[in-house]
Amino acid sequence: MKKQTGVKVVIIGIILVGLVLGYFYYLSNKKPKGDSDDGVKISEVQDVLLRNLDKNYPPTPREVVKYFCEIAQCLYGDDYTDEEFEELAMQARKLYDEELLANNTEKQYIENLKWDVNQFKEEGVVISSFAPASSVDVEYFTQDGYSWAQMRCTFTLRKGTQLASSKEIFLLRKDADGHWKIYGWTLEEENAS
């Protein structure tokens, strides 16, 4: 009788251990909710366009320039539809200071941008990467009653297997809403030694 009870206890113990191990295996291989593998992937262009600048504007000059560079990288390197091109252009314009916007109408801006992008594409040049200056390298100053920020950003351009860099200096001005807007940018002059 004691032998039968001992065998039953061992069998029940093995079954319980098997259930615990099976449940642990189930939990460790279960996909989290929202992590569906349905094959839907968004492109870098779509990812950039999904940002809502009205609700979530970049808080620092560096973040504004970084987002501008992401837009530029899409424009000068990715494939997109005509509609996405215009949406990217409009996203870039949301980062511009009102004085910079006043220099071109939307139509002029899109035409000029399209021409510039086409020049790059005809020459086979793409923006392969960019490196905005670190936050500590942003220069802040006040002038004419406005808060300003100046920073550098290096673009790496690729043509086939050849790489070149373009160093730009961005000037940003804080608007009435406290948002840093791109006032303009220029090529950094190389120091002649």
Domain boundaries, the chain: 44-187
- Kindly indicate whether the domain formed by 44-187 is annotated with CATH number 3.30.300.20: no
Residue 151 near residue 138 (C-beta atoms within 8 A): yes
Contacts of 80 (CB under 8 A, 6+ apart): 43, 45, 74, 88
pLDDT confidence band for 3 (50 / 70 / 90) = low
Distance CA(92)–CA(179), nearest Å, equals 14
Query: Which pLDDT score is estimated for 39?
Result: 59
Which of 152, 110, 160 is closest to 134 using CA atoms? 152
pLDDT confidence band for 16 (50 / 70 / 90) = confident
71 versus 2: the higher-pLDDT residue is 71
pLDDT at 170 over 90: yes
Packing angle, helices 61-75 and 82-94, rounded to 10: 160
Distance CA(179)–CA(136), nearest Å, equals 19
169 membership: H or E segment, kind and range: strand 162-174
Distance CA(41)–CA(45), nearest Å, equals 12
pLDDT confidence band for 106 (50 / 70 / 90) = very high
Percent of all residues in the chain with a pLDDT value above 90, rounded to a whole number: 50
User: What distances in angstroms separate CA 7 from CA 4, 11, 14, 16, 44, one per listed residue?
Assistant: 5, 6, 11, 14, 62
pLDDT at 10 over 90: no
What's the pLDDT tens digit per position in 52-86? 888 999 999 999 999 999 999 999 887 888 999 99
